[in-house]
A and B are shown apart, each in its own frame.
Chain A
Amino acid sequence: GENVEQHPSTLSVQEGDSAVIKCTYSDSASNYFPWYKQELGKRPQLIIDIRSNVGEKKDQRIAVTLNKTAKHFSLHITETQPEDSAVYFCAANPRGSTLGRLYFGRGTQLTVWP
């Protein structure tokens, strides 16, 4: 099955700086890559996703890039704010997985210091 690696496991930045989280995947057939944010004690919430026919997608301060050749994708958060502090999970969904099965990375604890 798919194997998703995520780095770093922890990331501390100053408010206003940028944060980058990187993930690699093993199954070249994977075609959907969501990012979830999970605040302490809350549910994972989708913040952005990208499909394999797109190289980059942006939503305000958040962007995701995908390199299919290298099989890696990254989350970029600009102008970070303390409320961005959370655990971020990347995931991959193999093509043909009609059930929307997701393979998650191990998570990155992002801390934004005021």
Chain B
Amino acid sequence: DTEVTQTPKHLVMGMTNKKSLKCEQHMGHRAMYWYKQKAKKPPELMFVYSYEKLSINESVPSRFSPECPNSSLLNLHLHALQPEDSALYLCASSQERARRLAGGSYNEQFFGPGTRLTVL
């Protein structure tokens, strides 16, 4: 299995709602990432988990709360979001350590299809 999956594909929520985004991978990757992407802009790193521990938080507002319950799952809990938080939320995974991998790829990040979030 060489895929990262994300649910839901689309999410519309009000500013008072609480919702969660889910990400799953079964490639044995121990680094998992959340990115936010606005239209025609590069992915913007939010959080990085390494061995289920939060390693990087790019000064993301507390209304976004990540969780890594096990090595295959990554969640992003959303609460009291603003309309400007509307974006494509991408999950990605990679080997935890940069090293030569079979086939020559080097710490490739595999992206999920994303969740298109609209905050009303």
Contacts and interface: CB of A to CB of B under 8 A. Distances in A.
B1 to A, nearest CB: 16
A104 interface: yes
B98 A100 contact: yes
Given A93-B98, A93-B107, A43 B42 contact: no
Contacts of A46: 105, 108-110
A76 interface: no
Chain B interface category by residue count: 20 to 34
A109 interface: yes
B40 A109 contact: yes
Contact of B109 (A42, A87, A95, A100): A100
Contacts of B95: 100
Contact of A99 (B41, B50, B112): B50
A32 B42 contact: no
B43 A106 contact: no
A45 B40 contact: no
A102 B106 CA distance: 12
Contacts of B45: 101-102
A104 B98 contact: no
B42 A99 contact: no
A51 B107 CA distance: 10
A51 to B, nearest CB: 5
B90 A44 contact: yes
A44 B108 contact: no
Interface in B45-83: 45, 48, 50, 55-56
B111 interface: yes
A98 B111 contact: no
Nearest to A94: B98
Contact of B96 (A32, A34, A45, A98): A98
B88 to A, nearest CB: 9
Interface of A: 32, 34, 36, 42-46, 49, 51, 87, 89, 93, 95, 97-102, 104-107, 109
Given A43-B112, A100-B31, 4 more contacts: A32-B107, A87-B40, A100-B98, A107-B40
